[in-house]
Amino acid sequence: MADTSDTRTPAQIEADIRRRRQVLAETLDEIGVRVHPKTIVGDAKAKVVANLDHTVGRAYVQVNRVVSEVKAQFTDEDGQPRLERVVPVALVVVGLLALGTRRRKD
Distance CA 76, CA 45 (A): 46
Query: Using a CB cutoff of 8 Å and minimum separation of 24, what contacts does 58-63 make?
Result: none
Distance CA 59, CA 32 (A): 39
Given a cut of 90, whether residue 29 has pLDDT beyond it is yes
**pLDDT digit string (tens) for 33-88?**
999 999 999 999 999 999 999 999 999 999 999 999 999 999 988 889 999 988 99
Alpha helices in the chain (DSSP H): 10-35, 37-74, 83-105
Distance from chain centroid for Cα 65: 20
